[in-house]
Amino acid sequence: MNDEKLVVEIVCVGTEILLGNIVNTNAAYLSEKIAGLGLSCYYQTVVGDNPNRVEDAITTAINRSDIVILSGGLGPTQDDLTKEIAAKVCGKELILHEESLKDIEDFFKKKGINYTDNNVKQAMVPVDSIVLKNNNGTAPGIIIPYENKHVVLLPGPPNELKPMFEESVVPYFHKLTNCVITSQTVKVVSVGESLAETMIMDLIDNQTNPTIATYAKTGEVHIRVTASADSEEKARKLIKPVVKELKVRFGNNIYSTDENVTLEKSVVDLLAASDLKIMTVESCTGGMLASRLVNVPGASEVLKCGLVTYSNKAKRKLAGVKKTTIQKYTAVSAQTAREMAKGTDLGPKSDVIVSITGYAGPDSSEEEPAGLVYIACNVCGNITVKEFHFKGNRMKVRESATVNALVLVRQCILEYISQMTFGEKTE
Amino acid sequence: MNDEKLVVEIVCVGTEILLGNIVNTNAAYLSEKIAGLGLSCYYQTVVGDNPNRVEDAITTAINRSDIVILSGGLGPTQDDLTKEIAAKVCGKELILHEESLKDIEDFFKKKGINYTDNNVKQAMVPVDSIVLKNNNGTAPGIIIPYENKHVVLLPGPPNELKPMFEESVVPYFHKLTNCVITSQTVKVVSVGESLAETMIMDLIDNQTNPTIATYAKTGEVHIRVTASADSEEKARKLIKPVVKELKVRFGNNIYSTDENVTLEKSVVDLLAASDLKIMTVESCTGGMLASRLVNVPGASEVLKCGLVTYSNKAKRKLAGVKKTTIQKYTAVSAQTAREMAKGTDLGPKSDVIVSITGYAGPDSSEEEPAGLVYIACNVCGNITVKEFHFKGNRMKVRESATVNALVLVRQCILEYISQMTFGEKTE
């Protein structure tokens, strides 16, 4: 097991990134994964489809890093030259990889697309390299061991790069470091990043293995616990007590300890497990909350309908808010939010109703301050209303409102369940 | 006016980018702007908050480029070292810039935040540099002329970087190149990128000044026309006939020639100009369409309400779809989409009703193929229904459905207006 962290450099090849045509999400994905594996990344470089500059970038990266990850430029066209140049820099010839050629032919057959000769180019690999199967496209990935370094070539499309990294590159890195580095993410809501850090400062200060790092997301904090050991099992054993301690400190504010569970998925799962149906009644978010829930596969089990009551008339006619309530308290008030969450006879019956009303901006005045949002949640007749003051532009305010509505729904259901469990009266 | 394009390199400083904590949208923004200004960008580099590596990155960039744009690391903390190192590389001392210090003090006063001494650091600038006012934060931007090169320092937060680039850096580049480079973007829908390219291949092939480039976006193609001249007026004059020719070729498929107008804004504007109110009835998109419309400031003038009818019961009870229609044709059918768009008496009256129903995936079967989506649009009683087969994951299918619903609404309203204008019968 190496004590010194291996240094990784990411080189993304593609003129479309240099033209600003696409945002470099591959670099962000790879960087996060590399950090999660306990490796260091000092540089990300982007270079266009130009032979000399690609060669310069690869040479520079090999000189200053232990591992170079290249993405993009593995396709069948003349512009795709990453592999050819990487092989040249490493002094390796290209040879035909029969298995990859067969995979490519099969891929085209399955898709019913005509196979063209220039696809042979994609099956050429440097001698003595490791070929990584591409289950989502044609270009195989390649790892070229070079002196005591490693050049990893991955396809550019994220839907090919990500699974290939998980399936083939992570195990390779595990072998390389002669140790397994595993991490678990504890996902926290209702606590800001600085408070979260303060709450675990003693754990962070004393960290060696596992290490602990916090990541701020909109309305969430992710705490990543990373351990290294000579087996997956031992690494997990090291992580376990730390996650247990985090659970003690953050309690119900942890919505998941699973990398793949989003906040909206945790809410959908909680609703499904509690056999509760939810309905959304949105003003300033305008459907954003319903849309986030619907993006969870299986949401149809728990979300039957939603209302976008953007105008006062819609709030009255669809959500049943009283005219006098809006007149007396305005449309952005705790009272209006509460009535929006009371439920309506119009649609299918719901057990949980969540409502959002607020000023999203961009204009702000004393009477209508941008960022003021009320969110109400009704769980089987118990209504909770909360007032928020969000910062940022119109989109940011609406995103914050959406996240906090998910958090409130989660809290209210958990409280409801705990009251049920302990046999308290709920009315 | 220089014939050779100046070469720009982008260096983003921030450990949070190397950890994958944030996606590098600044690099994409700057790259697109640089291309729009007719300059070349050969490299983007990201480096962490480490003095030696920042110095290396700046030195390398200066050696191979005419202009180096650095973003991030201008703040008041010890970690913020971009300016200090850039000054060192250029051999310049830092001196206090009184005006910036006053601006910073004023900024804190206005926000009601206590001013702390470490903010003086932000008002220190290299001698003989050009100071760029920051109207949205505290750290001023800086341009250091160095030999015959230019080092541009911009703050990291996008809401500070972007306006500063537009207000101060663009005019500086104009002076530098001794010419004004201006571009206009023609935004096209209903035409794919390759077809769009084919339709203007003759224009692209013959391009010198202005140049023409296409950018593919989800459901859209942006065609950027860029001209250089010794005055803004002359550059605009060069662009004008090309945009005119593009209008002839793409006609109504152009929704805007304004950089700042999004597709949803063009729809909101068209509705407002036609004095039409819109209502959304969404199944698989689950509020995404309403949410996109609501993100346009002023959407409340045209969008009164929306329905998320995710379950069959909601489609019946809220949108008034007949039980027999769903039984006979299923919930994902042209017939159901049509009935969803017929309108309901429940909410406020709307002139335009747009409905979406489809299979978003991830699971796909012969009976329920993921990506099959029906979109219907009702303009004052005239209903158009379209069938789509979208590719990609659940989110991608829903995004494509949302964009195409906006496109269909736009088309239907334009047809309606043209029928009104030409006095045709609309029934």
In whole angstroms, give the CA distance from residue A374 to residue A351: 20
pLDDT value at residue A423: 62
**Mean per-residue pLDDT, B354-379:** 94
> Do A105 and A115 meet the contact criterion of CB atoms below 8 Å apart?
yes
pLDDT band at B293 (very low <50, low <70, confident <90, very high): very high
Per run of 10 residues, the mean pLDDT along chain A (length 427 residues) is 76 90 92 88 94 96 96 86 96 95 85 74 94 91 96 93 95 84 90 85 86 83 88 92 96 93 97 97 98 96 96 95 97 98 87 97 90 97 96 90 97 93 58
Collect all residues of chain B within an 8 Å Cβ-Cβ radius of residue A346.
Answer: 317-318, 346
State the best of B9, B10, B15, B21 to mutate against chain A, taking most chain A CBs within 10 Å: B21
pLDDT value at residue B2: 44
Contact A44 B43 (CB under 8 A): no
A394-408: pLDDT as tens digits: 998 999 999 999 999
A369-420: pLDDT as tens digits: 999 999 999 999 999 999 999 988 899 899 999 999 999 999 999 999 998 8
Which of A18, A28, A293 is closest, CB to CB, to B286? A293
B189-229: pLDDT as tens digits: 998 877 888 899 899 888 788 988 887 788 899 998 988 88
Q: Are strands A94-96 and B94-96 parallel, antiparallel or unpaired?
A: unpaired
Asked whether the predicted pLDDT for residue B311 surpasses 90, the reply is yes
Which of A288, A305, A317 is closest, CB to CB, to B291? A288
Cα dihedral A90, A91, A97, A101, rounded to 10, equals: 70
pLDDT value at residue A95: 96
pLDDT value at residue A1: 40
pLDDT band at B88 (very low <50, low <70, confident <90, very high): very high
Contact B308 A306 (CB under 8 A): yes
pLDDT value at residue B426: 46
Using the 8-state DSSP alphabet, how is residue A139 labeled? Answer: S
> Do A385 and A376 meet the contact criterion of CB atoms below 8 Å apart?
yes
pLDDT band at B1 (very low <50, low <70, confident <90, very high): very low
> Do B226 and B182 meet the contact criterion of CB atoms below 8 Å apart?
yes
Which of B286, B348, B394 is closest, CB to CB, to A290? B286
What three-state secondary structure class fits A360?
coil
Go through chain A and tell me how many residues it has: 427
The pTM assigned to this predicted structure is 0.81
Q: How far is CA A398 from the centre of its chain?
A: 19
Closest residue by Cα to residue A336 from A407, A276, A387: A387
In whole angstroms, give the CA distance from residue B220 to residue B218: 5
B226-247: pLDDT as tens digits: 888 888 899 999 999 999 999 9
In B, minimum Cα distance to A395 occurs at B295
Contact A287 B284 (CB under 8 A): no
Residue with tokens 């057959």: A109
**Mean per-residue pLDDT, B278-287:** 98
pLDDT value at residue B174: 86
B104-161: pLDDT as tens digits: 888 878 766 677 777 788 999 999 999 999 988 889 999 999 999 999 999 998 989 9
pLDDT value at residue A120: 87
Q: Point out which residues pair with A189 in neighbouring strands.
A: A220
Contact B286 A294 (CB under 8 A): yes
In A, minimum Cα distance to B306 occurs at A308
